[in-house]
């Protein structure tokens, strides 16, 4: 069994980004800029935002924090987004979700300039992904494909089951896996809470991607011997953090697996930095 080390891979990607930024800025090019908007006091969001800001700093990306009180009005938030859209030094805009009650996240996401949509949540980015056009891909599914590629686990011609149909993981991941290419070209089955026989679907799969949000939901009897198992879940239990896959039981049956923590999670931030780098290159004509 091969352990897919997302922590190490994310470190490698962050080092590559850091090297590129350092070499360009040494030539006088301005550093990439990521604006990070956090509204309210949600403790988990504060941790996520702090981690993202720290990762930016490490890579030489200028992170521009905008911490707003939970009492912020929709109009104030829309005005901030409009200012950041117009700011030439900002390459990416990240709106940390969820927003406090009373604020309309969809309206805010729609207001972000798609050319700065480094989270890949804007409907234009999603539309581009579905049509196979260039654009930002949301960070968690992009990180999963990057892991498959760096570990050389091609999905081409294979059966892939994605469990979970969220807009941020399951749906975009299913689209990516069905795209042409060595780490695409899979025959994809998108499973969800109304799937009739989930265990059977999983047992037929060469690749299982679990994005459900239920601790140890995928058990060994659901996995075909030799399958590749990617665990997106982050569940806080009394015994600590665990994924959507029963890692201890599944690890001896599959050919490769991502652990939780240290699998898909660290890749999400690395891909946010990568998307910001991509936007910066495009804006400054550095491609």
For the chain, how many residues are written?
287
Residue 138 is a binding residue for ligand NAD (CB under 6 A): no
Among the listed residues 93, 33, 37, the one whose alpha carbon sits nearest the alpha carbon of residue 66 = 37
Going from the C-alpha of 116 to that of each of 35, 53, 82, 179, the distances in angstroms are: 10, 17, 12, 24
Residue 84 vs 121, nearer CB to ligand NAD: 121
By rule CB under 6 A, what count of residues binds ligand NAD? 24
DSSP 8-state class, residue 196: S
Residue of 17, 52, 265, 273 that binds ligand NAD (CB under 6 A):
265
Do 211 and 218 meet the contact criterion of CB atoms below 8 Å apart? Answer: no
* Active-site annotation holder among 5, 91, 117, 119: 119
Cis peptide before 261 (omega within 30 of 0): yes
- Does position 120 interact with ligand NAD (CB under 6 A)? The reply is no
* Residues numbered 184-203 forming contacts with ligand NAD, rule: CB under 6 A: 191-193, 195, 198
Instruction: Tally helices (H) and strands (E) across the chain.
Output: 10, 11
Q: Which of 135, 170, 172, 259 binds ligand NAD (CB under 6 A)?
A: 170
Nearer to ligand NAD, 32 or 259 (CB): 259
Q: How far is the CB of 135 from ligand NAD (least distance, A)?
A: 19
Q: Which of 153, 161, 211, 229 binds ligand NAD (CB under 6 A)?
A: 211
- Give the list of residues 6+ apart from residue 87 with CB closer than 8 angstroms, or none: 33, 35
Q: In angstroms, give the least distance from the CB of 205 to ligand NAD.
A: 14
- Asked if residue 40 binds ligand NAD (CB under 6 A), the reply is no
Residue 245, strand partner residues: 218
Is 11 among the catalytic positions?
A: no
What tokens were used for 94? 């990240």
Residue 233 binding ligand NAD, by CB under 6 A = yes
Query: What does the DSSP 8-state code read for residue 137?
Result: -
- Supply the residues annotated as catalytic: 52, 96, 119
- Positions touching ligand NAD (CB under 6 A) are 140, 163-166, 168-170, 191-193, 195, 198, 211-214, 232-235, 264-265, 268
């Amino acid at each position: 069994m091969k352990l897919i080390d997302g922590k190490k891979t994310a470190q490698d990607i962050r080092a590559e980004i850091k090297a590129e930024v350092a070499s360009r800025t040494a030539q006088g090019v301005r550093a990439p800029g990521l604006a990070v908007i956090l509204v309210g006091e949600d403790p988990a969001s504060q941790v996520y935002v702090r981690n993202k800001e720290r990762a930016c700093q490490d890579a030489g990306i200028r992170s521009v924090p905008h911490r707003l009180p939970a009492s912020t009005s929709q109009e104030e938030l829309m005005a901030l987004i409009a200012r950041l859209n117009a700011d030439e030094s900002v390459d990416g805009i990240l709106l940390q979700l969820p927003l406090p009650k009373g604020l309309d996240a969809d309206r805010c996401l729609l207001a972000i300039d798609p050319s700065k949509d480094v989270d890949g949540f804007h409907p234009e980015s999603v539309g581009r992904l579905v049509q196979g056009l260039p654009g930002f891909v949301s960070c968690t599914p992009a990180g999963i494909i990057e892991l498959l590629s760096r570990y050389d686990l091609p999905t081409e011609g294979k059966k892939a089951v994605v469990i979970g149909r969220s807009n941020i993981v399951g749906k975009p991941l299913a689209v990516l896996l069905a795209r042409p290419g060595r780490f695409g070209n899979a025959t994809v089955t998108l499973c969800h809470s109304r799937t009739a026989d989930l265990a059977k679907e999983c047992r037929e799969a060469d690749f299982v991607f679990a994005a459900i949000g239920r601790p140890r939901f995928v058990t060994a009897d659901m996995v075909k011997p030799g399958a590749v198992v990617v665990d997106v879940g982050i569940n806080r239990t009394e015994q600590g953090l665990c994924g959507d896959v029963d890692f201890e039981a599944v690890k001896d049956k599959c050919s490769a697996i991502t652990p939780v923590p240290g699998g898909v999670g660290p890749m999400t931030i690395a891909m946010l930095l990568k998307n910001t780098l991509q936007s910066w290159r495009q804006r400054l004509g550095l491609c």
